Amino acid sequence: MGLAEAGAGAAQFQRARLLVGALTQAGVRRAVTSPGSRSTPLVLAALDAAAAGLDVASIIDERAAGFFALGQARATGVPTVLICTSGTAPAHYLPAMMEAREAGVPLIALTADRPIELMDCAAPQTTDQTKLFGSFVNHFAEVDLAGPVDPLSLRAIRRTAAQAVFRSRWPRPAAVHLNARARKPLEPEVGAGDGSLAAAVDALLREPIEAAVPASRPDPAALAQAAALCRQAKRGLIVAGALPLPPPARGAAADAYGLAELARRTGFPLLAEATSQSRFVEGSAAGEASCRADCLGAAWAADGGNALPVPDLILQVGAPPVSAGTQRLLEACGAPRVVVSDGPWTDPAGLASVFLPGDVVATVAGLRSRLEAVPGESAGDGWRRDVLALTSRFREGAASDGAESGDRGLHDGDAARAAVEATPTGGLLMLGNSLPVRLVEDWAGKVERRVWVASQRGLSGVDGLVAGFLGSLSTGGFPAGVLLLGDVSLLHDLDGLAIAPEYADGPPAAVVVIDNQGGRIFDRLPIAKADVFRGPAGRHWSTPHGVDFGGLARAFGVPCVRVEDATALAREIGAALGRRGVSLIVATVDPGALDAAEESLRRAMRAAVSAR
Amino acid sequence: MGLAEAGAGAAQFQRARLLVGALTQAGVRRAVTSPGSRSTPLVLAALDAAAAGLDVASIIDERAAGFFALGQARATGVPTVLICTSGTAPAHYLPAMMEAREAGVPLIALTADRPIELMDCAAPQTTDQTKLFGSFVNHFAEVDLAGPVDPLSLRAIRRTAAQAVFRSRWPRPAAVHLNARARKPLEPEVGAGDGSLAAAVDALLREPIEAAVPASRPDPAALAQAAALCRQAKRGLIVAGALPLPPPARGAAADAYGLAELARRTGFPLLAEATSQSRFVEGSAAGEASCRADCLGAAWAADGGNALPVPDLILQVGAPPVSAGTQRLLEACGAPRVVVSDGPWTDPAGLASVFLPGDVVATVAGLRSRLEAVPGESAGDGWRRDVLALTSRFREGAASDGAESGDRGLHDGDAARAAVEATPTGGLLMLGNSLPVRLVEDWAGKVERRVWVASQRGLSGVDGLVAGFLGSLSTGGFPAGVLLLGDVSLLHDLDGLAIAPEYADGPPAAVVVIDNQGGRIFDRLPIAKADVFRGPAGRHWSTPHGVDFGGLARAFGVPCVRVEDATALAREIGAALGRRGVSLIVATVDPGALDAAEESLRRAMRAAVSAR
């Protein structure tokens, strides 16, 4: 510090201001800081950019900050910039960075680092942060905040910022890591310098910079080939798995990805999973309704695969489906597949005949334009009618189970149904992995209004769900939101729950936790049959806990209520959606009730088939 | 799954059993699992190895699991094996893995992965885990659990396990990553196979395997050079920073690193920081006592550097000191330095004349043997007397402040003193970073019994302190422990607090949190002088919170009490140390009281100097 030139802190702040200002100018609208000292110039710069419209949140735990930012970017399509200090601090971003890559969400981690002269000499909080996130980022760049202030150097900072925003979205959205070295003094000296550097930075920040991401259009020949397969098919089926929230979520059309229109055009039933943004849509036109086969997988499995022949063409859009029934149906049919994907090679079964990567909306539109509308009665009509009959029967069975639910204890499926039904029009429904995302497939009723569905299906972790949910809602893009998750997921994101005080003024956020004392997904896996699972060692899988969720919630100022029947559950979600900030609703479910309900549904389905 | 050979699950389990069994045979004693499905063969194998003495804990959140395991390995010197599923799960280990590298703690992450055929096709929870921890591990290896079962392949698994244990300790302890791919079925089929594979694995597990880590002895010529510098010095000073807990902590000698003996031999005062394992030691012999200058840095700073000439030789052992006073003293003197280190280049100031890396005990012993005992009165006697007079005066000042503490509110220094005084003989004191580790330097009284001191000074993060503390205590190496940490650190390790139910039967663990409403370390940094810090934006640094720690603790079944004076604090730590499992003591400190106490101490010191 003795050797620092007078005004070195001020110059460093100006370079930080240029970096964060240029990020803002290139489109970034939100920043999330976590506390630290080395990051001081970056935090000061973010606060400075707040005047230019940058929203700056503060979250203690970088892991929660990472998932919160991921949730924001998932909802907006615009990268949020994460700012933290050096050492282990950035390491806590890794889970969110990995999810960002797999899920195609843009993100920028701007990590403070110590200068070169403090490397490798046991200086505190100093380690090798270079390429810390390995291959999980689209781009890594070093920024020397204490570097020179000549015109080219300043333009290089501005370019680095614009590049970071661009690379967070290209070739497919993912995270970018900027590692910014800062030197003491970390604060600008009062009255240092003659203001000419500040003026130069201001001038640069007035110059517009835009790096437009080129559109990724499907190959015409491959489109034609896919269209030919569709024309030949007698029993085609469109299966839509997880697809991103279309940015901005709120302004999108009812048929966000054009899948309902594609179903009409091809005559193929549309099996739209909840996370496809194509299942919970506004009151459908008559023609559209006749193509909806939302819970076909569950119905097919419940019925034992007896009522229907298998499809002869699968048109898969987005991620592979999560419903166990749908997976079994696809495994059973082995039909050729046309796979439409926004980037990842979404074909774990290796059955793709035509793989169409690129912008999904453009691909679906391209395919549609190559197919003529089905004129009146057509070859696939019988197939479509059978599919719709099966799914209606399944839905009626599930609904009649629901009608009785006042008379019995809750099961997990009730919680899923209640969560979907409570989410208001244009609201956000976020689904935890393991059971919740699957429960919604089977148990959600017919919902004829737009509900946006977020999930972390990139890597399907149980981590960061509360933080990600609050991040998405914090963008103001949704009137309110409901998060449905399991107890183990909630316990894995205590740091997410700890955001609640910071989020107190946010849109209503109802967190519905299914308390079934541990990870009950394991009851449905082969390990459940092993002796070891049924003994005390079973806790290594199902991890039962004795945590008092009510006490936990209250510690963070979160209203919490425990419910044990469907009526109370609906009432309490409604109450939560009537107040700002986070509320926790603990749905205590009967162990075994879900199995019983499923079994009764299966019996009803089979009886209906044999009665025909 | 249809193509799996009959018994493929059983064969996979046998290979997993060989891997975990061989880890156990090579010295591993503890495993920590987190829930997941892909890790099933590994968890089954760990449960199998429990019969051979492997202790297997279950922790939901991999981040807490990582720090818990780090704490175990820190206490024992033996790597704990971490077992988790695929996807983002292993990413949560990264912070603990980074700390392990910098702090020199062995650790083994055994992560389940999906087989090659599921890579790059959007299969769930599947990503590229290869070299996930980059350069932060000593060694990375792939294990194919579903691989062949011929004799060489089986021996390769056994070798990989032994190698992992070896590389976790060589050339310097750090983490090792084993990435184990498993294929469905993940469970062994009942009654599959004829038992010959199991018998072959049993036979291999009976063959002893030991990979001895070679000792790292200092270079004799460099030792001679260092000894010559010591002989020439008139005002030498031994400064001992953080040093590892000597494994096994419980059995070590009073003078764990031989520093007291080195001080006697050289006649240099010994400034032993709390984390050096050389400050809180058994009732010292007369000769030894005369060399102790524990709080010299604080005393020197309080006095303004007037009472003493600066040292003319620094003999630095372990990590660079954390006390701000000691750092200033070292900066002021610019004397040549002999630096003794267990590996890292511990010389951030770049002032080392002789750098002696290697086994610290051996290096100190080698140095001692090259120096004759100081015979009676010697050249350095006046210097030593002056140093000891200054530190005694400082200690008296600090103690008299303590005597009055019943009459006033608590300050942070009181909490530090109480934590040290309450820790029983042979007990573990764990210190949070930022303020606590520094508070103990200045405010801890003279404690003449063995207290082991753990810290995470590798990267000095605020993360994982509760988990690490409970991990260390869970080894049974200490009768009880006290953790002193700040409120921000506690909020950064909610997942660590969530371990409490699993730890309920563990040795008494008193967690003392200094509740000063946020990170008060920033009040002591230059940013505190900025306008922005004093306004609402100051929360981006100090992160004040409104969390009810009592409610939080109760949610996890942890007794909690809030105290506001020193008497109550001492009483409550005592009560906590009288019961098994975790207790939380929230010490509410007066804002500004620490500053006032330090100022009064400084005034007293200066008055004493001018009165001379």
The interface predicted TM-score of the complex, written ipTM, equals 0.95
Of A216, A117, A113, give the one whose Cα is nearest residue A169: A216
Six token digits for residue A219: 């190959």
Q: Which pLDDT score is estimated for B2?
A: 34
Q: Is B369 exposed, middle or buried (0-12, 13-18, 19+ CB in 10 A)?
A: exposed
A44/chain B closest Cα distance in angstroms: 8
Which segments of A55-195 are extended strands (E)? 55-58, 81-84, 107-113, 137-144, 175-181
Q: Which pLDDT score is estimated for A3?
A: 39
Q: Which pLDDT score is estimated for A209?
A: 85
- Prior bond of B185 cis (ω within 30°): yes
Of B130, B39, B116, B127, give the one whose Cα is nearest residue B85: B39
A550/chain B closest Cα distance in angstroms: 7
Neighboring chain B residues of A501 at a CB cutoff of 8 Å = 545-547
Six token digits for residue B317: 């052992």
Reading across the β-sheet that carries A582-588, which strands appear in turn?
A: A452-455, A428-431, A481-486, A509-515, A582-588, A560-563
Q: Which pLDDT score is estimated for A487?
A: 95
Nearest to B87 among A61, A461, A542 (CB): A461
Fold of B220-393: Rossmann fold (3.40.50)
Residue B350: closest CA among chain A residues belongs to which residue?
A: A121
pLDDT (tens digit, 9 = 90+) per residue, B76-93? Answer: 999 999 999 999 999 999
Residues B347-354: contacts with CB within 8 Å, 24+ apart?
Answer: B347/A121, B347/A122, B347/B316, B347/B320, B348/A118, B348/A121, B348/A122, B348/A123, B348/B320, B349/B320, B350/A121, B351/B314, B353/B229, B354/B222, B354/B225, B354/B226, B354/B229
Please say if the pLDDT value at position B286 is more than 90.
no
Q: How far apart are CA A428 and CA A426, in angstroms?
A: 7
DSSP states along A206-252: HS----PPPP-PPPHHHHHHHHHHHHH-SSEEEEE---PPPSSGGG-
Q: Is A531 in a helix, a strand, or coil? A: helix
Of A417, A416, A239, A267, give the one whose Cα is nearest residue A338: A239
Quick check: A60 and B345 CB within 8 A?
Answer: no
Check if the beta carbon of residue A463 is closer than 8 Å to that of residue A430.
no
Query: In sequence order, what are the residues at sequence separation of 6 or more whose Cβ sits closer than 8 angstroms to the Cβ of residue A190?
Result: none
Domain ranges (residues) in chain A: 3-206, 220-393, 409-593
Nearest to A40 among B88, B494, B527 (CB): B527
Q: How far apart are the first and last CA of chain A?
A: 87
Neighboring chain A residues of B348 at a CB cutoff of 8 Å = 118, 121-123
Q: How far apart are the first and last CA of chain B?
A: 87
Neighboring chain B residues of A347 at a CB cutoff of 8 Å = 121-122
Residue B55's Cβ-side half-sphere holds a number of Cα atoms within 13 Å equal to: 13
Tokens 């804002």 found at: B591
Q: Which residue has the higher pLDDT, B379 or A382?
A: A382
Residue A480, φ and ψ in degrees, nearest 5? -170, 175
Neighboring chain A residues of B47 at a CB cutoff of 8 Å = 532, 537, 540
Q: What average pLDDT is seen over chain A?
A: 91
Query: Rounded to 5, what percent of chain B is helix, strand, coil?
Result: 45, 15, 40
Please say if the pLDDT value at position A573 is more than 50.
yes
Nearest to B89 among A88, A461, A540 (CB): A461
Test the A interface: residue of B13, B17, B20, B40 with most A CBs within 10 Å: B40
Please say if the pLDDT value at position B300 is more than 50.
yes
CA dihedral sign of residues A160, A163, A165, A171: negative
How would residue A32 be classed by pLDDT, with cut points 50, 70 and 90?
A: very high
Quick check: B347 and A122 CB within 8 A?
Answer: yes
Quick check: A47 and B554 CB within 8 A?
Answer: no
Q: Where are the alpha helices (DSSP H) in A279-424?
A: 286-289, 296-302, 324-333, 360-369, 381-403, 412-422
B209/chain A closest Cα distance in angstroms: 29
Tokens 């599921």 found at: B118
Query: In sequence order, what are the residues at sequence separation of 6 or more whose Cβ sits closer than 8 angstroms to the Cβ of residue A234?
Result: A312, A379, A380, A383
The percent of residues above 90 in pLDDT, for chain A, comes to: 74
Q: Which pLDDT score is estimated for A379?
A: 64
Q: Is A445 exposed, middle or buried (0-12, 13-18, 19+ CB in 10 A)?
A: middle
How would residue B152 be classed by pLDDT, with cut points 50, 70 and 90?
A: very high
Q: How far apart are CA B415 and CA B406, in angstroms?
A: 13
Q: Which pLDDT score is estimated for A287?
A: 47
Angle, vertex CA B501, rays to CA B498 and CA B502, nearest 5: 95
Test the A interface: residue of B83, B459, B502 with most A CBs within 10 Å: B459
B103/chain A closest Cα distance in angstroms: 10
Q: Strands A270-272 and B236-240, how do they pair?
A: unpaired
Q: Which pLDDT score is estimated for A1?
A: 33
Residue B192, φ and ψ in degrees, nearest 5? -75, 145
pLDDT (tens digit, 9 = 90+) per residue, B349-396? Answer: 899 999 999 999 999 999 999 997 665 556 678 899 999 989 988 888
Quick check: B95 and A99 CB within 8 A?
Answer: no
Q: How far apart are CA B368 and CA B223, in angstroms?
A: 10
Please say if the pLDDT value at position A550 is more than 90.
yes
- Classify domain B3-206 at the CATH superfamily level: Thiamin diphosphate (ThDP)-binding fold, Pyr/PP domains (3.40.50.970)
CB count within 10 Å of CB B536 equals 7
Please say if the pLDDT value at position B103 is more than 50.
yes
Count residue pairs from A and B with Cβ separation < 8 A. Answer: 248
Q: Which pLDDT score is estimated for B6?
A: 58
Check if the beta carbon of residue A485 is closer than 8 Å to that of residue A512.
yes
Fold of A409-593: Rossmann fold (3.40.50)
Residue A385's Cβ-side half-sphere holds a number of Cα atoms within 13 Å equal to: 6
Six token digits for residue B345: 């280049």
Q: Among A1-5, A74-78, B469-473, where is mean pLDDT lowest?
A: A1-5
Q: Do the first three CATH levels of B220-393 and B409-593 match, i.e. the same topology?
A: yes
Nearest to A120 among B40, B58, B345 (CB): B345
How would residue A398 be classed by pLDDT, with cut points 50, 70 and 90?
A: confident
Residue A497: closest CA among chain B residues belongs to which residue?
A: B494
pLDDT (tens digit, 9 = 90+) per residue, A223-236? Answer: 999 999 999 999 99
Q: Which pLDDT score is estimated for A250?
A: 55
Q: Which residues lie across from A340 on neighbouring strands?
A: A317, A356
Nearest to B88 among A125, A463, A554 (CB): A463
pLDDT (tens digit, 9 = 90+) per residue, B239-275? Answer: 999 999 987 765 667 789 999 999 989 999 999 999 9
Q: Which pLDDT score is estimated for A521?
A: 85
Q: What is the mean pLDDT of residues B519-544?
A: 89
Q: Strands B560-563 and B582-588, how do they pair?
A: parallel
Q: How far apart are CA B368 and CA A55, in angstroms?
A: 60
Test the B interface: residue of A81, A88, A531 with most B CBs within 10 Å: A88
Nearest to B539 among A37, A58, A492 (CB): A58
Residue A412, φ and ψ in degrees, nearest 5? -60, -35
CB count within 10 Å of CB A150 equals 10
Q: Among A111-115, A214-218, B379-383, B450-454, where is mean pLDDT lowest?
A: B379-383
Please say if the pLDDT value at position A307 is more than 60.
yes
Quick check: A91 and B95 CB within 8 A?
Answer: yes
Quick check: A457 and B124 CB within 8 A?
Answer: yes
Angle, vertex CA B581, rays to CA B576 and CA B586, nearest 5: 45
CA dihedral sign of residues B90, B91, B95, B98: positive
Six token digits for residue A248: 């901005």
Task: Kindly state the helix (H) or strand (E) to which residue B313 belongs, with its residue range.
Answer: strand B313-317
Residue B337, φ and ψ in degrees, nearest 5? -130, 140
Reading across the β-sheet that carries B175-181, which strands appear in turn?
A: B55-58, B30-33, B80-84, B107-113, B175-181, B137-144
Please say if the pLDDT value at position A470 is more than 90.
yes
Q: What is the mean pLDDT of residues B439-461?
A: 91
Quick check: A551 and B552 CB within 8 A?
Answer: yes
How would residue B338 be classed by pLDDT, with cut points 50, 70 and 90?
A: very high
